[in-house]
Amino acid sequence: MCESYLSQLVGGHVEVRHAALSIFEGLRLDGVSVRVDQSMSYDSTLFDVQTVLIKYNPESILNGKLEATEIVAIDPRVRLCENLDTRKWNYQRMPLPRLATSQPGSRGKAMLLPQVKLRNGQVDYSQIQDAKAISLGTLAVDGSLTPGETAGSYVFRIQSRGGSDALGRGRQREVVTSTGELTANLENFEFGPDIKTMLPDVVRQWWEDHHLAGRVNIPNFHMTPGGPGKKATFRVATELHNVNLSVSPNEWLSRYERDQLRR
């Protein structure tokens, strides 16, 4: 029942090693993992956690279904991996969650989204190149996700801690789970080694080539993912603080000017 509910909630394939029901703790799950697909490849596991505590609606259990009101993940580990051979991240292989009802006999009613709390979390970044896995680094995270005013939306607050620099602090961020539409803001986002770890390879290489440094505030960030026959769109308002960027003179030249230099 837990595996079915969580798979429907997150969209991936969820496995639970052990489950226990307690008057004091509610529902406790041990050894929970989320895979983007059924393969056992290096990058198939997106998320694993030692212990998950679930507060639930008792009536839903009596009806043979599980409907959580709060989920607490203790020592969760997120594994984000970019495959440079296919130019895709592992999470992109996971289907969007199907936010249908978890209650029988109420077709068309959206699933109630629970509050989610992350305690002592960790995000591992890696990449695959020429079929070989390379570890890039780790960030520590704590945070919470709370159902928003709009059905199917989440307001999330995440505190990240890196090994060497400031990773930014957001007042409020919201994501619509059915579409992936994201609205956020960010303060004190500093260009340093920890941020570089999080970026796609092509962006990271551009950063290194241009010696990017400094700090920015992002008061408005809005992104809508693309779909079949539809391009992704985004809007970012940015305030720069002591930002430095090196640009090679060749990058300013037009194609005609470069052809002249070659001749």
Which of 114, 198, 117, 196 lies closest to 157 in space, CA to CA?
A: 117
Whether 170 contacts 186, CB under 8 Å: yes
Number of structural domains the chain divides into: 1
Please tell me the predicted confidence (pLDDT) of residue 109.
53
- Per-residue pLDDT band at 105 (split at 50, 70, 90): very low
Please tell me the predicted confidence (pLDDT) of residue 80.
94
- Per-residue pLDDT band at 185 (split at 50, 70, 90): confident
Cβ contacts of 249 within 8 Å, gap of 6 or more: none
Angle at 167 between CA 158 and CA 93, to 5 degrees: 60
DSSP 154: E
d(CA 6, CA 114): 11
Least confidently predicted of 53-57, 59-63, 204-208: 59-63
* Predicted model pTM: 0.73
Please tell me the predicted confidence (pLDDT) of residue 162.
66
Q: What are phi and psi of 155, to 5 degrees?
A: -100, 125
Please tell me the predicted confidence (pLDDT) of residue 198.
82
Look at residue 82 and tell me whether its pLDDT is greater than 90: yes
Percent of the chain predicted with pLDDT > 70: 88
- Which of the given ranges, 60-69, 71-80, 86-95, 97-106, has the highest pLDDT on average? 71-80
If you average pLDDT over every residue of the chain, what do you get? 84
Range of the domain at 31: 2-262
pLDDT digit string, tens, across residues 149-167: 877 788 888 877 766 555 5
**Distances in whole angstroms, Cα of residue 89 to Cα of each of 49, 85, 125, 204:** 20, 11, 10, 15
Whether 159 contacts 142, CB under 8 Å: yes
d(CA 203, CA 246): 15
pLDDT digit string, tens, across residues 113-151: 789 999 999 999 999 999 899 998 888 888 888 888 877
- Per-residue pLDDT band at 111 (split at 50, 70, 90): low
Least confidently predicted of 22-31, 98-107, 136-145: 98-107
Least confidently predicted of 9-18, 85-94, 146-155, 164-173: 164-173
Q: What are phi and psi of 31, to 5 degrees?
A: 65, 55
Look at residue 235 and tell me whether its pLDDT is greater than 90: yes
**Distances in whole angstroms, Cα of residue 110 to Cα of each of 97, 219, 259:** 12, 31, 59
pLDDT digit string, tens, across residues 29-39: 999 999 998 88
Cβ contacts of 134 within 8 Å, gap of 6 or more: 126, 127, 128
